[in-house]
A and B are shown apart, each in its own frame.
Chain A
Amino acid sequence: MNIKPFRLAHCLLFAASALVLGACATTQTGPTAADNAREVEALARRHPAPYDAKQVSDAAVLQAMRASFKDSPSARLDRLDQTPLQAACTEASRHGKALDPKVREQLQAAALASVKYPADGKYLGDWKRGEAIAQSGRGLQYSDPVGTIAGGNCYACHQVDKKEISFGNIGPTLWHYGKTRGQSEEIVKYTWARIWNSHAFNACANMPRFGDAGILNEAQIKDVMALLLDPASPVNQ
């Protein structure tokens, strides 16, 4: 990385060229444009484009991020402290690689262990309230007052009730979710766990951990469960 010794030689070598002479004259306090170009070339040789981000350390990136965000009661700076799951999924996604099978297994087991099933054994609440939760994108934003009751924002990523045409496609359609799967104990518990911590079945899934991360409370998850599984829910018509 130390390129300064080359600078003088470079300027002399190309002194005849007005362009480079200009570059030498204007950047006396720093490396010349030619130096920079050489350095980038060298970097590119070692790390063919797109450049491998190993050139800046994770610590340096985190430090820059910490200095860039504002701590506030509604969104604390500790949101930048990655959990092991977040760190592992960041690495995998950055390199476009699948998770190591052993790591995947560990993450999924830990996610499944995090699931808290309802103490009263009742899994289905009110689908009408569930629909309101599925529609609401409120909560957990720095701009939300502390204590705002969060929504599930399901429609941001999923088709749910077909009557709502404004839905995203990051997740699969949930139309006829209960109609096609039925209401066996296995399906009900699977659905609960999937909402609570979707990494239990698919580590590094895009879906937030609605129960595990405390986005929705138990009663709200019951209502969303009803929206998906209750035979009376419009989703299953």
Chain B
Amino acid sequence: MKSQTIVTLAAAVVLPFAMLAHADDTQKEIERYRQMIADGNPAELLEMRGEELWKQKRGPKNATLETCDLGLGAGKVQGVNAVLPRYFADVDRVMDLESRLVHCENTLQGFSMAELTKNPHSMKAGERQTDHEALVAYIVGQSRGAKVDLPQTHPKELESYLRGEKMFFFKGGPYDFACATCHGVDGQRIRLQDLPNFQKPDNAQRAFTTWPAYRVSQGAMRTMQWRLLDCFRQQRMPELQFLSQASIDLITYMGVKAKGGVMDAPAIKR
């Protein structure tokens, strides 16, 4: 029933968009559409499902995730997304939210890494959102209002940022695109989609604080890992692997650039 509600909701907001075809003032119409979709975010249902999963005994070890240390201490969920990615001493590396969540499901609940990383995202239209997406929605939702402040005190945190910076400007593939091609200049759009310029703090903040997000056009909530996977798809690069070093480094780069922004995710977007 829930997914049906979401589909109906999505149709209700997508349809008026299709009718904009002959509007003159494109930018004004985009703004109007944004306001239209701003009330009521279906991701809230997913947050609720995620909270249940978080507290449920699951996996071969029949344990909950409630002792998981997401970066602010065992069991602390509030505000964690505003300080991730960060260095974790127990694994001696930098992890983003999704890497850390999967790590906890592996170590505390006994799920294998293979099953945890096989199908983390719901990819087909109408497919039920995955447990991973639900858990991410819940955790991220608990950071609303928190100020983005990624630690950059450990050398590995700094290295992650520096690698992320180089990756951001790396041009490759048949299109010669880098992240910076579309996200390094003010006021750029692909079709009607505004592109944040990550060299500008306010742009970086707006982008970083509103991912993950419920995508109306896809009728699904998408995580930050998915966001990067899909960016590289459109960039015509090879498939970015889930939880890969490059994904973590780029999230670190964006998070550091977004310092001071106020978390407001999962958000709702086109």
Tell me which residues across on chain B come within 8 A of A143, comparing CB atoms: 233, 239
Can you identify 15 A-B contacts, CB atoms within 8 angstroms? A31-B155, A61-B167, A69-B238, A69-B244, A75-B173, A77-B238, A79-B238, A80-B237, A86-B176, A89-B171, A140-B174, A157-B190, A167-B191, A206-B181, A208-B175
Residue of A30, A141, A167 touching B89 (CB-CB under 8 A): A30
Known interface pairs A56-B159, A170-B189; A165-B23 also in contact (CB < 8 Å): yes
* Chain B residue with the shortest CB-CB distance to A155: B191
Tell me which residues across on chain A come within 8 A of B249, comparing CB atoms: 64
- Does B43 lie at the interface of the complex (its beta carbon under 8 Å from any beta carbon of A)? no
Closest Cβ of chain B to A93, distance in Å, is: 5
Residue of B166, B177, B193, B246 touching A94 (CB-CB under 8 A): B166
Which residues of A come within 8 Å of B, CB atoms? 26-27, 29-31, 33, 36-37, 39-40, 43, 50-51, 53, 55-56, 58, 60-61, 64-65, 67-72, 75-77, 79-82, 85-87, 89-90, 93-94, 137, 140-143, 155-157, 165-170, 206, 208-209, 213-215
Closest Cβ of chain A to B22, distance in Å, is: 7
Residue of B170, B182, B190 touching A65 (CB-CB under 8 A): B170
Q: Are A67 and B244 in contact (CB under 8 A)?
A: yes
Q: Are B191 and A156 in contact (CB under 8 A)?
A: yes
Q: Are A79 and B173 in contact (CB under 8 A)?
A: yes
Residue of A30, A79, A156, A169 touching B237 (CB-CB under 8 A): A79
Q: Are A72 and B238 in contact (CB under 8 A)?
A: yes
A-B complex: 9 closest residue pairs judged by Cβ atoms: A68-B244, A68-B246, A94-B169, A69-B238, A142-B239, A79-B173, A75-B238, A70-B239, A208-B175
Q: Are A142 and B233 in contact (CB under 8 A)?
A: yes
Give A34 to B45 CA distance when docked, in angstroms. 43
Q: Are B155 and A69 in contact (CB under 8 A)?
A: no
* Chain B residue with the shortest CB-CB distance to A41: B153
Q: Are B234 and A141 in contact (CB under 8 A)?
A: yes
Q: Are A168 and B176 in contact (CB under 8 A)?
A: no
Closest Cβ of chain A to B252, distance in Å, is: 12
Q: Are B237 and A93 in contact (CB under 8 A)?
A: no
Closest Cβ of chain B to A157, distance in Å, is: 7
Q: Are A93 and B169 in contact (CB under 8 A)?
A: yes
Tell me which residues across on chain A come within 8 A of B233, comparing CB atoms: 141-143
Tell me which residues across on chain B come within 8 A of A156, comparing CB atoms: 190-191
Tell me which residues across on chain A come within 8 A of B89, comparing CB atoms: 26-27, 29-30
Known interface pairs A90-B178, A93-B169, A167-B191; A64-B237 also in contact (CB < 8 Å): no
Give A53 to B238 CA distance when docked, in angstroms. 24
Residue of A75, A90, A165 touching B170 (CB-CB under 8 A): A90
Give A42 to B138 CA distance when docked, in angstroms. 39
Residue of B159, B171, B239, B240 touching A82 (CB-CB under 8 A): B171
Give A76 to B237 CA distance when docked, in angstroms. 8
Known interface pairs A39-B155, A65-B246, A142-B239; A79-B163 also in contact (CB < 8 Å): no
Which parts of B167-212 form the interface with A (CB within 8 Å)? 167, 169-178, 180-182, 184-185, 187-193
Tell me which residues across on chain A come within 8 A of B178, comparing CB atoms: 90, 93
* Chain A residue with the shortest CB-CB distance to B170: A90
* Chain A residue with the shortest CB-CB distance to B236: A140
Q: Are B26 and A165 in contact (CB under 8 A)?
A: yes
Which parts of B23-71 form the interface with A (CB within 8 Å)? 23, 26
Which parts of B124-146 form the interface with A (CB within 8 Å)? none
Tell me which residues across on chain A come within 8 A of B159, comparing CB atoms: 55-56
Q: Given contacts A93-B180, A143-B239, could you give 19 more A-B pairs where the C-beta distance is less than 8 Å?
A: A30-B89, A51-B161, A53-B162, A55-B159, A61-B167, A69-B238, A69-B246, A76-B238, A79-B238, A80-B172, A80-B237, A82-B170, A87-B171, A90-B171, A93-B178, A142-B238, A156-B191, A157-B190, A169-B187
